[in-house]
Amino acid sequence: ILSYSLAFIFLTTSFTFILTYFFQAQNILANGMLYGHQQANRYISDHPSSQVIYSRKTSEPQAYVMFFQQLDPRLVQSYTKNWQTTMQTEGQSFVDQIGEYFLGKYTFREINLPSDRLLPNTILVARPDEIHPDQADYVIYSPDPVNPTPLFTIYNTSLHSNL
| DSSP-based three-state secondary structure for 28 | helix
Q: What is the pTM of this model?
A: 0.80
User: From CA 51, how far away is CA 96, in angstroms rounded?
Assistant: 19
For residues 123, 43, 62, 113, the Cα torsion angle rounded to the nearest 10 degrees is 30
pLDDT confidence bin for 94, thresholds 50/70/90: confident
User: From CA 60, how far away is CA 62, in angstroms rounded?
Assistant: 6
Q: Residue 59 carries which side chain, given as an amino acid letter?
A: S
Q: Is the pLDDT of residue 162 over 70?
A: no
Q: Could you tell me if 130 and 138 are in contact, meaning their C-beta atoms sit under 8 angstroms apart?
A: no
